[in-house]
Amino acid sequence: MNRIANYVVAYEATSQGHDALELGVAMARLTDAELRICLVLQPVTAAPSKIYAASGDYEVLLADQAAEWLAAAAQLVPRDVRASTHLIWADSTSEGLLLAAAEHDSDRIVVGAARGGILNRFTIGSVANALLHASPVPVALAPQGYRATALTRITCAIGTRPGWEALLDSLAAFTEGLDVELRFVTLVEVDAARDKHSAAAAGSSGHLDAVLAHYEGLVHGHGSISTAVGTGSTVEAAVEALDWRDSELAFVGSSRLAAPRTIFLGITAHRMLHALPVPLIVVPNIPAAS
């Protein structure tokens, strides 16, 4: 089936929502996907208070305002990207986004992750956090202040523990036919005192070779592929030891603790996030059967 991919953009009229929109645009351009710009409002209830505050009037005003925000968001999308806007009523923002993703059979949800993070890096907001615990589709997190650029390289962070094949399958599906560089990295925590070329790092290099072989079995006619091992005394330091481009996108898998088909960000990935300067896509676990 020649289906056009679509991405749900978690929009709100804040810098965070803007970041998500920019990342959505960058990815839509790369993969010829469409954007579903979604703004979630919570149904207004009559508050249990002595003053009668009916929800009707307020809900109408709220919806008007939301329509204005969405119209402004649509103006931000460049002409070459197809986008539609959607106002969603749901009990919580994350629930609304998941509903939208199901409704549109979306391929991923794009959300601005940062608020108040330092140096353009990630701190995870409550919506992003909720999605990371429940989404059945990959979640793309835009760092604070992200602006769309042509994406030139995709980096996939691979662990050595079982389950990495699922991530590769997802990556292969995403990168099939794209003209971007690929890079596989593993992160190694080493004792600061020890040599960087330790046995662990060497083992990682061996692992990356296996990963490379697996990937080349999946995808044919890909662009250039490189591998790298990030070493450091902490996960954060290991991330920082690698070079990162502004035009880069990172992939990471879910924790093995996640229920099948949903995301759960593992401890390592969580810590990675704190040091990562580029957008990150978190891929759910896919059961081996499918």
Partner 1 sequence: MAHSSASGATPTAAAGAGGITAKGLSAGSVGLLGATVIGISCIAPAYTLTASLGPTVAAVGTQMPGIFMVGFIPMLLVALGYRELNNAMPDAGTSFTWATRAFGPWLGWMGGWGLIVATVVVLSNLAGVAVDFFYLMLAQLFGNPELADLAGVVWINILTCLVFMVGACYVSYRGMETTKMVQYVLVGFQLLVLVWFAVAALLHFSNGTAFDALGFSASWFNPFLTPSFSAFAAGVSLSIFIYWGWDVTLTMNEETKDPETTPGRAATLTVAIIFVLYILVSVSALMFSGVGTGELGLGNEEIQGNVFAALAGPVMGPFAILMSLAVLSSSAASLQSTFVGPARTMLSMGHYKAFPNRFAAISPRFKSPGFATVIAGVVAWGFYAVMRVLSTDVLTDTILTLGIMICFYYGVTAFACVWFFRREAFSTVRSVLLKFLAPLVGGIILAVIFVTTLIDSTNPDYGSGSEIAGLGLVFILAIVLFAAGIVLMFIMRAVNPAFFQGKTLTKGTSRDVA
- Scanning 72-80, 136-144, 183-191, 216-224 for contacts with partner 1 by CB under 8 A, the matching segment is 72-80
The residues facing 35 across adjacent strands are 7, 83
Select from 20, 33, 66, 235 the one that contacts partner 1 (CB under 8 A).
Answer: 66
Q: What is the DSSP code (8-state) at residue 50?
A: S
Select from 23, 27, 73, 239 the one that contacts partner 1 (CB under 8 A).
Answer: 73
- Scanning 46-54, 147-155, 202-210, 257-265 for contacts with partner 1 by CB under 8 A, the matching segment is 46-54
Select from 7, 8, 10, 12 the one that contacts partner 1 (CB under 8 A).
Answer: 12
Does the footprint of partner 1 cover residue 267 (CB under 8 A)? no
SS percent in the chain: helix, strand, coil, step 5 = 35, 20, 40
C-alpha distances in Å from residue 141, one per residue of 91, 144, 167, 224: 22, 9, 17, 25
CA–CA distance, 152 with 159 (Å, rounded to integer):
23
Nearer to partner 1 (CB atom), residue 45 or residue 224: 45
Does the footprint of partner 1 cover residue 85 (CB under 8 A)? yes
Strands 83-89 and 108-112: unpaired
How many other C-beta atoms can be found within 10 angstroms of the C-beta atom of residue 154?
A: 22
Does the footprint of partner 1 cover residue 53 (CB under 8 A)? yes
Does the footprint of partner 1 cover residue 60 (CB under 8 A)? yes
Nearer to partner 1 (CB atom), residue 55 or residue 226: 55
Nearer to partner 1 (CB atom), residue 35 or residue 154: 35
Nearer to partner 1 (CB atom), residue 58 or residue 210: 58
Phi-psi region of 145 (alpha: psi -120 to 50; beta: other; left: phi over 0): left
Does the footprint of partner 1 cover residue 32 (CB under 8 A)? no
Does the footprint of partner 1 cover residue 50 (CB under 8 A)? yes
The residues facing 192 across adjacent strands are none
214 touches 257 (CB < 8 A) = no
Q: What is the CA radius of gyration of the chain?
A: 20
Select from 5, 22, 30, 67 the one that contacts partner 1 (CB under 8 A).
Answer: 67
Does the footprint of partner 1 cover residue 78 (CB under 8 A)? yes
CA–CA distance, 135 with 42 (Å, rounded to integer):
19
Does the footprint of partner 1 cover residue 84 (CB under 8 A)? yes
85 touches 71 (CB < 8 A) = yes
Does the footprint of partner 1 cover residue 104 (CB under 8 A)? yes
Nearer to partner 1 (CB atom), residue 25 or residue 168: 25
Strand order through the sheet with 248-253: 83-89, 34-41, 6-10, 108-112, 139-142, 280-283, 248-253, 153-157, 181-189, 225-232
Least CB distance to partner 1 at residue 88 (A)? 6
Least CB distance to partner 1 at residue 79 (A)? 6
Q: Which residues bind partner 1 (CB under 8 A)?
A: 4, 6, 12-14, 17, 34, 36-37, 41-43, 45-63, 65-67, 69-71, 73-74, 77-79, 81-91, 96, 99-100, 103-104
